Amino acid sequence: MTLLLIDSASLWYRAYYGMPDTLVSPTGEPVNAIRGFLDMTARLITQYQPTRMVACLEGDWRPTWRTDLFPAYKANRVDESGEEEEPDTLGPQIPVLLDLLDEFMIPMVGVDDYEADDLIATYSMNEAGPTYIVTGDRDLFQLVDDKRKVKVIYLAKGFSQQEVVDRAWITAKYGIPGERYALFAMIRGDASDGLPGVRGIGEKGAAVIANNFSTIEDALAAAHADDDRLTPLLRKRLIEGSDYIKIAPTLVHCALDVPLPKMSLNLPKAPTDLSEIYSIKDEYGLGASVDRLISALNG
């Protein structure tokens, strides 16, 4: 009963930048993100043989309950109109891709005021495993759980160099207990999300703290108590960062209580009537990418 949870925006960005921009429709519109997404989805289904699958969407990529706490959250990605910056030739491809996934009856979910990460986290906690989370973003490492058989298929280096992340992988990569990635991340920060972390503490210092404490609150209390597991400089930096530390868990931890819709997550077979899918395929010149997904769903 394997569940495949796809971080959809992460995947279509990877597809867009990983596939040549010479892939265009008969009328010259770029389709590289569509074709790359379809190709990767077909390969994921073939490789991991899921019985359930959800393409998780951004209900809100900057939820108000995060930006109210920290206005700079993801502000580095905002354009002059206040919308998310994205390449001009990517945006028009997304509605076509979503229409195509809908025609394939692949479960898709987005919930207002929640990021896709929050949906993925809630599904991973409430659905039986084994669960594979597909993303190119490391913030979802916090959801890895060996006991519940939750792993991340990490695509930052591309599909052919995918890495399957479990807690041992996190330990080997960062030198911390695998279950403490979220603590490590909130101290280190993440420039891609506009999160500064605790000012003055880099990756090495964050690893020291994650190796000695299980929560940020414990680390801060230890700093105030002159705990010798922390160097004087780390104690100083933690105390100076107290205001950020108060809000960091809410910013960094994925929500686990998203009100998900009641729906079947079963992986569909390809529709018996493919006429609409073939119509979209022909209109946008999607060729073998559509055929691969049909084959994977019927495999």
Would you tell me how many other CB atoms lie within 10 Å of the CB of residue 40? 25
Q: Please provide residue 152's backbone torsions phi and psi, each rounded to the nearest 5 degrees.
A: -110, 130
Structure tokens at 243: 């205001």
- What 3-state class would DSSP assign to 172? helix
Residue 75 confidence class, pLDDT cut points 50, 70, 90: confident
Q: What is the pLDDT of residue 82?
A: 61
What pLDDT was estimated at residue 130?
A: 97
Confidence at residue 72, expressed as pLDDT on a 0 to 100 scale? 84
Helix (H) or strand (E) holding 65, with range, is helix 64-67
The tally of CA atoms less than 13 A away on the side-chain side of residue 89 is 17
Residue boundaries of the structural domains of the chain: 3-170+255-298, 178-252
The more confident residue out of 53 and 69 is 53
Cα 34 to Cα 93: distance, rounded to the nearest angstrom: 6
Strand order from edge to edge, sheet including 163-165? 108-109, 52-56, 3-7, 131-135, 150-154, 163-165
pTM of this structure: 0.94
Query: What average pLDDT does the segment 138-158 reach?
Result: 96
Give the whole-number percent of the chain exceeding pLDDT 90. Answer: 87
**pLDDT for 61:** 84
**Cis peptide upstream of residue 26 (ω within 30 degrees of 0):** no
Three-class secondary structure of residue 173 per DSSP = helix
User: Looking at the chain, which runs of residues are DSSP E strands?
Assistant: 3-7, 52-56, 108-109, 131-135, 150-154, 163-165
The pLDDT value given to residue 184: 97
The winner for highest mean pLDDT among 72-76, 188-192, 295-299 is 295-299
**Are 117 and 66 within 8 A, CB to CB?**
no
The pLDDT of residue 165:
98
pLDDT average, residue stretch 15-37: 96
pLDDT of residue 81: 59
What's the whole-number mean pLDDT along residues 194-208? 94
Homologous superfamily of domain range 3-170+255-298: 5'-nuclease (3.40.50.1010)
pLDDT value, residue 73: 87
Q: 190: which 2 tokens? A: 């993440």
Q: How do residues 152-199 score in pLDDT, each as one tens digit?
A: 999 998 888 999 999 999 999 999 999 999 999 999 998 888 888 999
Tokens standing for 197? Answer: 């972390």
The pLDDT assigned to 80 comes to: 62
The C-alpha atoms of residue 103 and residue 274 are separated, in whole angstroms, by 9
**Helix, strand, coil tally for the chain in percent (to 5):** 50, 10, 40
